[in-house]
Structures are given as C-alpha cells and as structure tokens.
Chains A and B, each alone.
Chain A
Amino acid sequence: MPREAPRTLLEKVWDAHMVTPESADAPGMLYVDLHLVHEVTSPQAFTELDARGLKVRRPDKTFATLDHSTPTAPADANGKRPYVTAEAEAQVATLERNCARHGVPLAGWDSDARGVVHVMAPELGLTQPGMVVVCGDSHTATHGAFGALAFGIGTSEVGHVLATQCLLQRKPKTMRVTVDGQLQPGVSAKDLTLAVIAAIGFGGGSGYVVEYAGEAIRALEMEGRMTLCNMSIEAGARAGMIAPDAKTIAYLRGRRYAPQGEAFERAAERWLALATEPGATFDKEVRIDGAAITPMATFGTTPDAAIPIGAAAPAPRTESERKALDYMGFTAGEATTHAPVSVVFVGSCTNGRLSDLRAAADVLRGRKVKSGVRMLVVPGSESVKRQAEAEGLDAVFTEAGAEWREPGCSMCIAMNGDVVPPGKLAVSTSNRNFEGRQGKGARTILASPATAAASAVTGVLTDPRMFARGPAHA
C-alpha cells in the first residue's frame, strides 16, 4: 500500500468523522461527538423537532447550560432571580423544559457546574482532543485548544444535530499561524490573541480552520490556549485548533467527564497522535514573532483594530474605519490612553477563567478602583467562582471596590441587563467591540484581564506592566 500523505490535525479529526464523504452534489455528513446547547440559540430548534415529531437522537452526546440571559445578581430571599425581562426568564424556562422532555443533561441553576458554555465544558472534561464539538455559538472555537474541531452553528443546524447527530459540511481550507519566540514578561495570552487577529485581519480567516503552532503557543497554559482559540472567529475563522500535548493531558486527567484510569491512558496515547505530521501542508501560512508583542488593546469597532497600548491610533484607510474611530471618540495619530474609562468588565468565555481572575486580582491587590469607574468581575462558571473564593480573590475585588457577580455571559453580550451606558467607554476582557455590543451606544476597548484591572485603577487605558510587582509576587 502506498504511504499516506502526511496529514494535519484538522484532516485527522475530519477524516475520523465522515459518515458519508462529500461529493460534487452534496456536502459530507460530519459526525458530532459533543453538542453544547444554551438558551438563546436553541428554542426554535426544539420547536422544529417538535413540529416534525422528532426526538433528540443522542441526548448522551448533548449537554446544555444557562448563561446568556441569566442575571448575575443573586436571587432574593424568596429565591426570585432578577431577570432583565419576563421574556428572558421564559427563555431560560424553555430550555429547562426542553432538556427535561428530551432527556438532555442540563447544568442549570441547581448545578455546581453551570457556567458560560465554553468555560463549563472544558472544565468538566466534556471537551476532549479529536472530538467534533459544535454549539449554536460562534465562540465554540474555544474547544479547539484541546485539539478538537469545534465551531459555531446556526439554529437550523442545532436542529440538524439534535435530530441526527450530524451536520452537512464541506471540508474547510487550512491555515497555520506559527507564533515563534517567547512572550515577554507581563504579556498575556489575550495580548497574543489580539496581535494574531490584527495580523490575520477581521475577515482574513474566512473559510479557514486555523491551527496555532510554534514556541509561544506551546508555552501557553490550557486557559491561555482557550483564550486564543476562542477569538478565532474574530479573524473570520470558524475554528482554531492546537495540537494536544502534555499540558492537554495533564489538564484533562481526573476531570468529571474525561475517561478514567486505564481508559484515560489509552485515550491520552490516541490524543498525542493527533498532531500535524511533519511535511503536511496548509493552504495558507502566517508567521508572527511572539517576542515582539506588547500589551494590546483595540481602538476601533472590530477586534482586529488593535495596537500596542500607548501607540498612536493609525489613520483610517476607509470610510468604515473613519466611522469606527469617530464612534470610539479617538483621534488618528494620538494614543488612546487619555480617554476616561467608565466601566471595566472582567469575565466572558475569553477571559473569565481562574487564571484571568488571578491576573486581574494581582493588579488590584492593595489598590482601589478609581472613583467613578464601575468594575464588574464575573466568573466564567460556578467552578471558577468557587475556586476564586477559596483563594480569596473575591475579597481582593470587593475590597478594591469592584463588584463580584454570579457566573454568566453578562456584559460580554449585555442581554441580561448588565450594560455599559450609552456613550460610555469600557475596557473589557471579552471578545467583541462592535458598536453597541455592550449596550446601545457603548464604546468598547478589548484588552487583557491585567490591562482591565490596571485601567480600573487609573481610570484610563493602562499598560499593566507599570503595576508589575517583581518576582516575589509572581
């Protein structure tokens, strides 16, 4: 038999999930191992199933949670939760009902596992290398940090997967983004992520699945890798992947839904064999010097409009870029570090994990949020919340004057009532700085947790390295 051509990570996962191959006439049927569900993009899919008399075919491969429409203020003494509207409450109740009727496991209000879907699934060990993971949510790419092929789908496709466990897909193109060198001290995974998106461009990854490789990527911990893969969609790429390695295995060992004992060791061996083989080729290659990256922040209304903190906002090249700069209230040729910041948000599926909260707390410890600045810290999940509280991070935040909230998407999407007021400037650790994303008229700067915390202290966008405390505190 002739030797097979060397394959990429994507190709290995893809080939292992083709139920029927694609042809000129029809896409392939791609099998889904894990279907994550939340309250916003699923109700109409369940309605469609009901209308056709269909059942959820594999509830054992489906897992739901409540995160987008949920309040982040606690329930009152009577257990009543402060939903933003009756409609939001009804939406949550709809998912609860749909899960109960179809036997779909739900990490609901009473669960110790509830969380933002892309924070929750990895920490439970639901997400595993080599899987195909989908969710009606564009940041599903997060799970690619484990060497899974993970991408967002629409509600019609949510119905397809619920009913058949399959999706109609054509094989995407492949792009490898190699980040060489070592990140400088004080430069985080978010800074790296914003630099990568700026390099690829907002729509530059359209049609591709990105594999992130290189020394700087291998040096990232799993939570940093999730931050990077999470924002692949902000470069237009539906999915981003990182080959599983010893860190992946160590992260998964002992997680609730990961294989246990002997089965885990066998799985680990398979997972490590998923890496792209030497000689495999990509449709596009991008190389970035990781050592040159400094703390980054956005200045426009697309996530690729990012520059090193303190650098001058570049002159707009198009009418759309000019409008974006106007909307943000920044001036071309001037730094963006003078505009007063009103709101600081630490949280989301990009930066709502324990290491993110630690980074923000390290800056805030013994300091105060500047008067007039509202700072919200929203843990990504119940588990993150518990761990943070066990370490006393909640006390660091509240003593500094920040709000410590219940887990959820919160101000990342601002559909639960947590909003940035019109016209106000926010520094946010989330993933989208679109016009009005954090509330009508809200202006958003995307940055890392450390930058967000430093900006909360000073009241203007601030490079967190000025608050570095030296190795004793590292």
Chain B
Amino acid sequence: MQVFIQDLIKNNGYQATDLLAVLRAVQAQYQHIPKAAIEQIAALLCISRTQVIGVIEFYSFFHLSPRGHYDLLISDSITDHLLGKHQITAYIEQALQVKLGEVRSDGLVSFDNTSCTGLCDQGPAALINGYALPHLTPAKIDQITGLINQQIPVSAWPADLFAVNDNVYQAGLLLSQTIQHGEALHAGLERGFKETLKELDISGLRGRGGAGFKTATKWQYCAEETADARIVVCNADEGEPGTFKDRVLLTTHAHQVFEGMTLCAAIIGAEQGFLYLRGEYLHLYAPLKAVLAERKQAGLLGNNIINAGFNFDIQICLGAGAYICGEESALIESLEGKMGIPRNRPPYPVTHGYLGKPTVVNNVETYMAAAKIALNGGEWFANVGTDKSKGTKILSICGDCAKPGIYEVDFGTSIQTILDDCGAKDVLGIQIGGPSGTFISNTEFARKIAFEDLATGGSFIIFNNSRNILDIVNNFTHFFAHESCGFCTPCRVGTSLLKNQLDKIVNGHGSAGDVVALEELCQLVKTQSHCGLGQTAANPILTTLERYPELYQAQLKKISYEPGFDLDAALETARQMANRNDAAAHLSQLED
C-alpha cells in the first residue's frame, strides 16, 4: 500500500488540492481508507491528518472501515421509489444475502442506500463500485449475483449492464443542432471576444443551475477583477433529485460544453478550468477525458488555441457523494481538497474563488448555451422565451409519465403542454425544481416554466393520483437531513428536527399542536440557514402544507398530548432483558 500511495501522489504532483482524487483511488483499491494511509497521505501532501479524516468523514463515498469488494449502492431518490426501489431492494437482499446498510460477513459484498444517482428516467438504479447500473430488474440482479459470486471484476462485466440512455424526446434551440467543434471560438475571435460578451448580454442568458444570475454580468465582473490568474469552473455536480440533463449533455454534447468554457476563458482571460463531475457520473470520466484529449489535438485546448494566442486547459475533478458540493462555494472548497462547506459571502467567487482567484462558476447547460450564442448571436436566443427568461430550458422529466427523458422547452411553456408532450395522465401534482423547488397541485397546470413563475434547474417529477404526498415529502426531508453539511446550526440541527417531527406526524404520533410547530420550524430553517441548502430544505413541507393542510391534520391524534414515539416499541429491550412477552409486559398507546 505504501508504494501504491507514494506513486499515486507522485503522479499527482504532491498537490494538496488533489486530496479527493487520492482518496478516491485508495478507497477503490482497498475498499476503505486505512489508518496508515491517512498518515502517509497527510505527510506526503503536507496537510494535517485531521484534514484527511475530515474529508473522509464528510463525503459519502469514503469510508474508514472496509466496504465489500463489490459495493452496491441503490438510489434512494423518490423517483427510484416510484419505479420499484423497495421491491428490488428486497430482491437484492435475498439474492446477495446482504441486508441494506451492511457488509456481508465474508467481506465480498456491501449494500447501502445512496442519494439520487441521476438515472431517474431509467430506475431503479444503483452504483457498483461507483459505476452506474440503470434499470435494475430481478433478471439483472440474478446476473449480477452470478458475476459477484464468481468474483468477476466489475471492469469485465458485460457492457449492456451499464448502458445508460439519453432519452431525448424534445429538442429546441440547443439540442436540435449542435455546433461544429471550434465554431463558436472562431466566431468569437472574428467578432472579437469583447463584442461576444455583448452578444451574451443581449441574449439575456441566465444561469441554468437554479439561481438564474445573468451570465454576461458574472463574466464581466470576473474579467474586471485585477488578478494575475482567473479560473473557469463548470458545475456538473447535478445532485438535485430528479435532475439528469447535465448527464445527457456531457454524454452527447461534451464538445459544446467545453467550447463554452473555453469561450468564457477567452473572454475573461483564464488559463485554468475545471469540470467538477459528481462521483455518481464516474462512467462519464473516461469518455470526457477522451474528448478533452481530442480537443487538445485539434488545437481547441492547450497552448495558442485556434492560433489566437490564448492558452487554456481543463481538468476533470470527481466528487465523492455530497449534494452540498453543487453549491458554488462548497464546490470550490471541494476542488481545493477540502470538506464541501459553503463559504461566507462576501467575498463572492467572481472575486475570490478557487485558491482565492477570481472564478466563474456556471452550470453545464449555461456553457452549452453560451457557445451557441457566440455562434448565432444574442438576438437569436433572446427571440425565444419570455421577457425575464430568455431562450429555452432543458428539463429532466421523470416519474409517472409515458416517456420520461429530456425535453427542451421554450421558457414560458405551460405545465399542461409539457404534461401532454410526455404523456402524463391522472396527475396528482408535480415537484418542480427538485426537493428544493416547489410542489404544485393539479389545479396549477396553467402555470409556466420561467424564472418569474416556476423556476427549475431541470428537475420535473410527476406524481399520479396513486401516490401519497406525505411519503414524497418524507423522502425529500430525509434527503436534506442526510445532505446538510452541518456548518450552521439552523440547518444542521433544523433539518434533523424537521425529519424527526415529520416522521412523528407521518407515523401517527402527532398531536394537536404539532403541525403548527412543524411550520414554525420550517420558517426558522428557511430564514436563518447559511446557504441555499438550508434555505430550501423546508420547501417540500411548506409547499405541500400550503396546498394540502388537511392531509397533515388528518394524521394528528385528537388528544392534546401524544407521546412522540411508540410506547410499546420502546419497551422491547426491557422485555427482552426480563425475558417476558405476556400481555402485562405490553403498553397500549394513550387512547384517543
């Protein structure tokens, strides 16, 4: 192991910023990060061992104790639940003889939940040693069980097990025709990069990652900072449950995304770029590296790009299972080899980003759009959409509909139109923008996709009338508690309190004042949290409580006091110790 780590770190050039990459490799090789490895890594990277431990304990994909040689993680996203996650989990437990959350006693297999894997249109999905396994069926589980029992390495498994589909059903401005390699850069050069920034301004393009900040303004701010180096970052963390459009863009349109980043570099004067790719998209790592190599060959990256005298290079950094790393300043911390904790602002990334340098962070789709705007001009884009939301939005549609997949719609398109296009019937409601967004009911389908009405980073999850709203809300609320970085009190403690309080109500232990208490807590978490995660973590409860208050009330007991837990279940340990199970050793819950 010592030699393995020594070589690894030598190849990485002893950079402390590469801590995540080093830990990923050690985890893959040894199924955990052994104690001795921590000491060695800390020494070689000249960082404290507490930083190494902190990072290991922060990211879901790193472990201090060994996982199985085959580590199977099943997506716990609501979208996978809709597609039969519970049934397939039970089947896996049987087939592989391992309980969810455990490592099999022979150490060969481990099995656990993971947050949304971005395969919501082809679930139930899982990761095996980090690689995506879409569309699990009992037959596939049998096949996988055979492969594992014969100890065939994952790299030698049949490719069709890993076949991830794009499922593009509707193409608009961006997807209908992608640009030729280098076309946008040449257009930018001919027009002049300053003029091209003006075109971007005219286009009205706003960030596609959720917050909707005007892209040209961000680039302008960054360009205006006095600095000797600037950084371009592409945010491909795509962790919002129900979102998978960036996966498709990076699978099929990676050239155009990289071209958008290169264009940004030319405009703001950056030489270094990063693609922060979520760990769940490990299967895209090798193909994306190949695209980068191809572009370098073609003179579209590296030195003296398109003979215009500017240099720029892109490095791909993989995440390790942490939704919070989609938040831009947490992402930058992660790029620096640290825990993904959102920074205090100001200063903002455009002035103090990666290693303190002015940094532009944009979503995958934003760069893709920017490249095409450089080619076709601002008006081309601004002619589509609404006053405040120009152009199109690429949606990831999943849940209860006939054709889940990718739909590019003009901003201003009504929800009803979208439902018709994807073949959704008997709809109860839709989660728009993922758990951090809004739940709308079936009386609101005249509303529109737009920053000024229903904003979304792409997530669009449809639920039909057979679904239970409280189950959905419960899944989302658990998600936030699991993903809170823990930096600030309102979010760290608040998301866990929300989870417990909601569990209490859903499980029928709520009493008269509990819904009021829940709503109060929601407001506190929303208004007092440090970053967007905490500020939106209560949205699933708040947006459904607003629309379906009776659903919550119906769960409550009529009495004014109800124990917040199951009295009888709490006595189980005592019964076991006393070796009793007679009627007198049981307690009934308080009567209504």
Report whether chain A binds chain B: no
Report B's interface with A, CB cutoff 8 A: none
Report A's interface with B, CB cutoff 8 A: none
